[in-house]
């Protein structure tokens, strides 16, 4: 895995995993899949999201690294 991922790539992968959105929220946009709701970070400037944050989002969404890689 690279050390960062572009926000648009993060959204593309979540859509491939069946999530809808992103929708506007309070401070962050979010995506939903059934009862699951994940926040989408909004990196200012570069548009890159650090992989550690991506891993935390995947953990909260209960998505395995294999599922993520295949998306």
pLDDT, position 11:
94
For the purposes of burial, counting CB atoms within 10 Å of the CB of 30, is it exposed (0-12), middle (13-18) or buried (19 or more)?
A: middle
pLDDT, position 68:
93
Q: Are 33 and 13 in contact (CB under 8 A)?
A: no
Phi, psi of 23 (to 5 degrees): -110, 155
Could you tell me the domains of the chain?
4-70 (3.30.920.30)
Give average pLDDT by consecutive 10-residue segment, the chain, 71 residues.
Answer: 86 96 89 94 81 93 93 91
Q: Are 38 and 31 in contact (CB under 8 A)?
A: yes
pLDDT, position 57:
94
pLDDT, position 1:
60
């Amino acid at each position: 895995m690279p050390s960062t991922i572009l926000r648009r790539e993060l959204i593309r992968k979540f859509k491939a995993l069946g999530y809808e959105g992103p929708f506007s929220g309070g401070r962050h946009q979010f995506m939903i899949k059934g009862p699951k709701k994940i926040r989408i970070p909004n990196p200012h400037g570069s548009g890159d999201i650090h992989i550690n944050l991506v891993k935390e989002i995947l953990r909260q969404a209960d998505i395995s690294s294999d599922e993520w890689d295949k998306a």
